Amino acid sequence: MSAQDLVTLNRLGSVAASPDGRWAALAVTTTDPVSFKRTSGLAVKALASPKGAPVNLIWDGSASDPAFAPDGRLYFLSDRKAQGAATGSTQVWSVALDAAGAIVGSPVKVTDFKTDVAGFKLSPDGKRIAVWGDIGRNCPTFGGCDTDGNTSLPGPGTGRHYKDGAGFVRHWDTWETPGNYSRVFAFVLDANGAANTDTGRALDGDPANGGLVGDAPAKPFGDGTQIAWSADSSAVIYSARQADRDEPRSTNLDLWWAPVDGGAPKNLTVENKATDSSPAASPDGRWLAWTAMARPTYEADRLVVWLMDLKSGQKRALTDAWDRSASTLAWTPDSKALIATAEDVLDVPAFRIDPVSGKVTRLALSPKREGNIGNVTPLKDGRIVFTRDTVEAPAELYVAKAGKPGVRMTDYATTTLAQRAPVTTQRFSFKGANGDTVWGLITKPAGIAGKLPGILYVHGGPQGSYNDTWSNRWNPRVVASQGYAVVSVDFHGSTGYGQAFTDAINKDWGGKPLEDLQKGFAAAGALDAQVDTDNACAMGASYGGYMMNWIEGMWPDKFKCLVQHDGVFDARAMAYETEELWFDEWEHGGNAYFQAPEEFEKWNPVNHVAKWKTPMLVITGEKDFRIPYTQGLAAFTALQTRKVPSELLVFPDENHWVLKAKNSLQWHQTSFAWLDRWLRKGGKAE
């Protein structure tokens, strides 16, 4: 498997099932193998026919974010251009499908605003639509005001001017636009199925009377899972955080109940100062479920499922006794159960939650190897539609009958990868720091004899996990396919092992995690004699990049090379340069740098540069505002000053991740050449 294979494989994204359980609409991204241009489109799959090929939606323009209306009509986002227009804005469209899954009749342009629609949700009765996009806070209509603009640009020059109390001035990869927010509006659909602009209502209320000023969904990663309709279609529930000078230190997302008639929204979770998200109303109108954290400013706290009785208003923690963190929620159509997904020891399975007792039951949708379950949609007849991927293969669509394993329904990448040399993945565990059980994965080429150079993969977060899941960026299979044995270790701080294990990294970035990595890499070599831990390199991004810088000074004799992507080099500079301050401060005991500099300096890689000697490739993106690219430049300067063999790869158009197809190809080619230089005879792969 080559880097080009990884970059150009078809990618299955979001999934929507029709109310009658007949169809699934699939968002699919394709990449041209020559130009590397990516195209987003939709396909329709008959759920009763596992072997039948999906029907591609013939459509002029992009198509994404599919959703079915109660009558079976398919809605989606598209940038389809009007006849004669040079460009098109992203709007909501709908089409009817015939018995074969093809478009029948004329498509309807549901929205037609001058502002792009970022997302939408259809009401349960099919009579209304909620849409969201970036709109001026003082504008009562969706994109209908000339004041929709960036108030940080007063002119006459090009300077951005942020006033006292602005809060975020930049976030993730974008400079903030004061006065503009992601806002939700509700519209009535007319007899033709289009949004009646005269009926549009903003759902964030009057700021002078308790209304919200903030982004819904939350930026930068919020999506439609943060927005839901009430069962009777009378209100929209959304998750949002107040935007003010404290926002960079706040994880306080609240749930807001907003009547679609324009009445004032109500904060349902005002008592919780931590995150409340993923609202899901039961179809029978009795319950509102959501996920909630307990500790303010901690973005990786356990997400407990909560339940509100919508008649009495009584709330209770439903899964407080379950030491896992729910990531998605979906009600069964009969309202008798919630289906959630959560990380659980290298897997992301689905779980059934009883709304009365709170009992949690793990579902065996893929009993021999769950991998990563996503896009879970329960159907009326008891079937469950979902996607599944593993380290070795990207997502495909599955359908499982009640109590049965899932059956694969698509072949977007399975056959293609079957034509490539196979790899094997083995799970292992060992005694790590404090004698705790720590888990990891070994991925290597199958059917090859002899020693394989070892690659220690270190995940980011740090509250994260490589899991048994596919990645389009840090992909163990494509690295292993170059002839390496890739070892990943879920060190203390990783998710899927209970909250105490996740919390263990707090104020200990360079302690227990490094011990786990050292012991885990040795354990992998002892378990599998093919893993050559003496001829090895290590690589990681974000926290994994920090760990490369930490290894440079604290484990300097182990590796022949390192690949460091967007890692913290100087904790002091990071404390004043990053945007989401809640993260950096929580990790160092809830303190700003000036309050407890010793907590930051204890694990600061810059303090150990005098010991640096391992060759390092440094990679960074100029649009990375999480760990600014200056951290990478500083690390490269340190290496060059120390005369340590080193290279620097800077992407001017990438953020904390490398997302563009050609850039991804360059990232892999550069990284593979660096690994080959230090691990291969003659400096190149055989």
Q: What is the pLDDT of residues 181-197, one digit of tens each?
A: 999 999 999 999 999 99
Same domain, 408 and 532: no
Name residues whose C-beta falls within 8 Å of residue 221's C-beta, 6 or more positions apart in sequence.
none
Report the percent of the chain where pLDDT is more than 90.
95
Mean pLDDT on 321-341: 98
Does 272 map to a domain? yes
Q: Are strands 646-651 and 616-621 parallel, antiparallel or unpaired?
A: parallel
The dihedral sign for the CA sequence 394, 396, 402, 405 = negative
User: What confidence score (pLDDT) does residue 415 get?
Assistant: 95
pTM of the model: 0.96
Same domain, 400 and 427: no
Instruction: Report the distance separating Cα 474 and Cα 478, nearest Å.
Output: 9
Instruction: With cut-offs at 50, 70 and 90, classify the pLDDT of residue 148.
Output: low
H-run or E-run covering 601? helix 597-601
Structure tokens at 686: 């055989």
Same domain, 244 and 330: yes
**419-448 as b/e: b if 16+ CB within 10 A:** eeeebebeebebebbeeeebbbbbbbbeee
80 contacts 88 by C-beta, under 8 angstroms: yes
Same domain, 367 and 465: no
Q: In this predicted model, what pLDDT tens digit does every residue of 597-614 receive, in sequence order?
A: 999 999 999 999 999 999
624 is catalytic: yes
Same domain, 189 and 305: yes
Q: In this predicted model, what pLDDT tens digit does every residue of 74-118 receive, in sequence order?
A: 999 999 987 777 778 999 999 999 999 999 999 999 999 999 999
**Least reliable range by pLDDT among 109-118, 143-152, 384-393, 540-549:** 143-152
Same domain, 186 and 332: yes
Same domain, 339 and 465: no
Q: Are strands 64-68 and 74-78 parallel, antiparallel or unpaired?
A: antiparallel
For 290, the domain range is 124-416
- Of 171, 565, 588, 656, the catalytic one is 656
User: What confidence score (pLDDT) does residue 83 get?
Assistant: 75
Mean pLDDT on 268-296: 98
The dihedral sign for the CA sequence 95, 98, 101, 105 = negative
Angle, in degrees to the nearest 10, between helices 512-527 and 543-554 = 80
Mean pLDDT on 532-552: 98
Is the confidence at residue 635, as pLDDT, over 60?
A: yes
End-to-end, the C-alpha distance of the chain in Å comes to 14
Does 39 map to a domain? no
Last residue of a domain, one of 416, 445, 462: 416
Instruction: With cut-offs at 50, 70 and 90, classify the pLDDT of residue 686.
Output: very low
Last residue of a domain, one of 363, 398, 416: 416
Tally of structural domains, the chain: 2
Instruction: With cut-offs at 50, 70 and 90, classify the pLDDT of residue 374.
Output: very high
Whole-number average pLDDT of the chain = 96
Same domain, 585 and 638: yes
Does 63 map to a domain? no
Instruction: With cut-offs at 50, 70 and 90, classify the pLDDT of residue 398.
Output: very high
Q: In this predicted model, what pLDDT tens digit does every residue of 435-489 receive, in sequence order?
A: 999 999 999 999 999 999 999 999 999 999 999 999 999 999 999 999 999 999 9
Does 113 map to a domain? no
Is the confidence at residue 165, as pLDDT, over 50?
A: yes
Same domain, 617 and 639: yes
User: What confidence score (pLDDT) does residue 684 get?
Assistant: 60
Does 51 map to a domain? no
Is the confidence at residue 534, as pLDDT, over 50?
A: yes
Is the confidence at residue 198, as pLDDT, over 80?
A: yes
Mean pLDDT on 385-405: 97
- Of 344, 508, 566, 624, the catalytic one is 624
**Least reliable range by pLDDT among 132-141, 331-340, 353-362, 515-524:** 132-141
**627 three-state secondary structure:** coil
Instruction: Report the distance separating Cα 487 and Cα 319, nearest Å.
Output: 33
Same domain, 224 and 151: yes
Structure tokens at 387: 């996607």
Report the percent of the chain where pLDDT is more than 70.
99
- Hey, which residues does 290 pair with through a beta bridge? 306
User: What confidence score (pLDDT) does residue 143 get?
Assistant: 83
User: What confidence score (pLDDT) does residue 685 get?
Assistant: 46
More confidently predicted of 266 and 686: 266
Supply the CATH number for residue 447's domain: 3.40.50.1820
542 is catalytic: yes
- Of 14, 542, 646, 671, the catalytic one is 542
Mean pLDDT on 236-245: 97
Same domain, 299 and 385: yes
656 is catalytic: yes
Does 162 map to a domain? yes
